[in-house]
Chain A
């Protein structure tokens, strides 16, 4: 199995995504977002213009996207207005170094995503937790890359509410994951620990 995020993301686009809003129920919807990876040299940003909604690499946003955004006639500015642009973070992105960009992104990005280059790489759980806790990100955060059924609960509790599962994953089985645990013993983005809910402890 490839551990390279760029290969995986450029070659595989999920046709469906699992949504699990905080306080809501999980559901499967059609995926509208293309994950664009500029580093695979296949397509330029102009060449994906026809795509309805695009997630661009955060590093591209830093070097190009935020510059373009200042020009109201640019494709980026138009997408911001249409809410058809978002960014994705690689697993090794140190998001705390870019707090002002992320603050500004709250009014520019319709979606943010964090990549799992391989399912057993847990860095993006911390990325999601920091986006929720530190940046108070209230929009959707999507898990992308090597996203498997058995990582869903962890992701959902860390801060993700949208999952582009690897295409071979059984979505019916995936949907059942969120009912497995009715209690929790540490706080997370989704819920406080059950011990603080005294009526349940009785």
Chain B
């Protein structure tokens, strides 16, 4: 993985010094809270319901075992012994003291980490495919471009006070695992007919109050001109994005208002004047960065068939191991290797994406032992050991069991994506975590879950959509009505190559109704499903009506008080 050079290290060190001074001025009263707020946000520091929350960047989801150990120590030393992995490849600590925040940033800088631009109206932490560099369906490894863009966007002076936040995603595989079309800018990498690295640029996607899928605005852009093209794009947005209404300030509103063609034309006009400048990446920069993303020292090993793997387990463990192989182990580019997903979604016991200090330390050791000391964080809030020898899978499974991270529910109904919601977040209208817990407890039967197959269930505590409810096959959105917490259900959302925004089925439900409503929706699916049809396909075939009818049958009185938002 990428190793900081003198420049990167100096920059994060100097950023810590700058923030320390800003915090001192805040504490001594010379810097008012209103003016301090964007400064702390651009260093990842939020003020939440109970305390400050620090959001640390895990650029494009890549983490070394030593970095994970540092996160574990931060959780232990400055927090309450756990951290929360988010849907944007960050980790959040919920119980932070303002005066200690510069010390945490200094600790992070020692392991080449930071919290720069994890919040604020600027270019946020760049996200990518958690299986970058190892996925069997990859066209190009997106990580060098991600890292080059991380450096380019860090402390960019012109784009630090955009109309609103700005999120990049980068993917380079056949299957999109980044929700590319729900980003302000999605960069889809591929090789052209001359084997040159080029990018298709999608702009104006986003979730939130007005979910929109991004539009293709540029094709076959050579990788090296990304800085000038993105400068042009961001400059158009910075100058003309709306600043009069926070809910209409994202780039998606500008792209929609102008139309994608006109937006693309304006970007093109701006780019024309700067496309040949030395903003563009040079080959030497590519070489320096890409050199860090070479393949690890894989052993030459033979591919092991699934049945042989299962047979290697003791007879009484074979069924459970087989299930884990099926759900939590993914195909690898290299024969004899696999990628393993650790589920941070145990049923009903902790919040989705949470990991304790003890778990993080143990998982860091497993990464050292089985996966070249590296890990990935997925936007589904799980952890990945990307380079595990198939021969070691059984041993790894045994050892990871002790950390309660081997539940074979990846991609299943209980692999719930959820934001921290009203338990922590001051923006939330409603709690997300108790809803996730109640659903996980209701659907605790693994056999049943496996029979149901792939279903994504995403929960957001407010319309900001951190829980990505718009792209869940089933989405749950917390809404506030007269001070009470209600939940709106959407169906038909999807991430990936067939990305779609889910549709609201009707009036919202009370928290206590949600597990029953879920059961009715799932029962309807089971009733109409053909063979092994996945939920989303049944939904597409039938439309919302049967699900809707089931959800509101005998429930009309209870839910009639809830208005559709």
Contacts and interface: CB of A to CB of B under 8 A. Distances in A.
Given A122-B238, A125-B161, A129-B235, A183 B7 contact: yes
Contacts of B273: 133-134
Given A126-B158, A150-B35, 18 more contacts: A120-B121, A120-B161, A122-B158, A122-B161, A122-B162, A123-B239, A125-B160, A125-B161, A134-B273, A180-B18, A181-B15, A181-B18, A186-B153, A186-B227, A188-B158, A193-B152, A195-B7, A202-B6
Interface string A122-156: 11011101100110000000000000101101111
Nearest to A128: B158
A154 B14 contact: no
Interface string B258-283: 00000000000000011001110010
B282 A196 contact: yes
B5 interface: yes
Nearest to B159: A122
Contacts of B160: 122, 125, 154
Nearest to B37: A120
A125 B155 CA distance: 13
A153 B278 CA distance: 21
A121 B14 contact: no
A189 B541 CA distance: 56
Interface in B178-216: none
A121 B155 contact: no
A46 interface: no
A89 B17 CA distance: 34
B279 A201 contact: no
Nearest to B14: A181
A135 B545 CA distance: 59
Interface in A138-195: 148, 150-151, 153-158, 170, 173, 180-188, 192-195
A133 B270 CA distance: 11
Given A125-B161, A200-B6, A185 B151 contact: yes
Contacts of B243: 121, 123
A81 B239 CA distance: 33
Nearest to A150: B39
Contacts of B279: 186-187
Contacts of A181: 11, 14-15, 18, 155
B399 interface: no
Contact of A185 (B155, B161, B235, B282): B155
Interface of B: 5-8, 10-11, 14-15, 17-18, 22, 25, 30-31, 34-35, 38-39, 121, 151-162, 227, 235, 238-239, 243, 273-274, 277-279, 282, 285, 288
- Among B39, B153, B155, B162: residue with most chain A CB under 10 A: B155
A29 interface: no
22 contacts: A121-B161, A121-B243, A123-B238, A123-B239, A125-B158, A125-B159, A125-B238, A130-B235, A133-B274, A154-B157, A180-B14, A180-B17, A181-B15, A182-B10, A183-B10, A183-B11, A185-B8, A187-B278, A187-B279, A195-B151, A195-B288, A201-B5
Contacts of A119: 35, 161
Contacts of B152: 185-186, 193
A104 interface: no
A94 interface: yes
Contacts of B11: 181, 183-185
A115 to B, nearest CB: 14
A202 B227 CA distance: 24
A201 B6 contact: yes
A194 B238 contact: no
Interface of A: 1, 94, 119-123, 125-127, 129-130, 133-134, 148, 150-151, 153-158, 170, 173, 180-188, 192-196, 200-202
Nearest to B18: A180
A195 B285 contact: yes
B146 to A, nearest CB: 14
Contact of A182 (B14, B274, B278): B14
Contacts of A134: 273
Contacts of A192: 278
Contact of A170 (B30, B121, B274, B285): B30
Given A122-B162, A195-B7, A201-B7, A185 B238 contact: no
Contact of B157 (A121, A158, A180, A182): A158
Given A120-B121, A125-B161, A180-B17, A196 B278 contact: yes
The 10 closest A-B pairs by CB, nearest first: A122-B161, A157-B157, A154-B157, A185-B151, A194-B7, A125-B158, A183-B10, A183-B7, A158-B157, A186-B152
Nearest to B161: A122
Nearest to A91: B243
Nearest to A202: B6
B14 A186 contact: no
A127 to B, nearest CB: 8
Contacts of B274: 133
A188 B157 contact: yes
Contacts of A150: 22, 31, 35, 39
Contacts of A200: 6-7
Contacts of B153: 186
A92 B187 CA distance: 29
A155 to B, nearest CB: 8
Nearest to A93: B239
A126 B10 contact: no
B200 to A, nearest CB: 23
Contacts of A182: 10, 14
